[in-house]
């Protein structure tokens, strides 16, 4: 279970769209679903930012770029993904931050 303080920290990090990536993974990941959309702008441990949006590197989960700013009554992507036990949440927060820099917040 992720603490409220950790969620707040990850949400704050995901808002810092003006900063370059803090890391990038060079490890290979076996594709179990669909191939990632090219070009791939960033590879994390579990997540990638592609021309489509945010994609799980094994091709089994995608979030369209135009949706990266969505939230429902304070329940955004960080909270949604924290509910899943298979998500590397810090890696997802970095992917979300970098995707948000490519798809700015709608006015």
Q: Helices 4-13 & 89-102, crossing angle to 10 degrees?
A: 30
In the chain, % helix, strand, coil (3-state, to 5) comes to: 30, 20, 50
What is the tens place of the pLDDT at every residue in 17-72?
999 999 999 999 999 999 999 999 999 999 999 999 999 999 999 999 999 999 98
pTM as predicted: 0.94
Q: How many helices (H) and strands (E) does the chain have?
A: 3, 6
pLDDT for 67 equals: 97
67 contacts 31 by C-beta, under 8 angstroms: no
The pLDDT of residue 103 = 96
DSSP 8-state secondary structure symbol assigned to residue 29: -
């Amino acid at each position: 279970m992720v603490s409220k303080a950790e969620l707040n920290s990850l949400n704050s990090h995901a808002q810092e769209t003006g900063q370059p990536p803090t890391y990038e993974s060079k490890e290979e990941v076996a594709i179990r679903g669909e191939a990632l959309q090219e070009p791939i702008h960033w590879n994390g441990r579990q997540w990638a930012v592609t021309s489509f949006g945010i994609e799980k590197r094994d091709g089994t989960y995608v979030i369209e770029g135009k949706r990266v700013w969505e939230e429902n009554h304070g329940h955004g992507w960080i909270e949604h993904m924290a509910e899943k036990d298979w998500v590397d949440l810090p890696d997802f927060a970095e992917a979300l931050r970098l995707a948000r820099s490519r798809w700015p917040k709608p006015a």
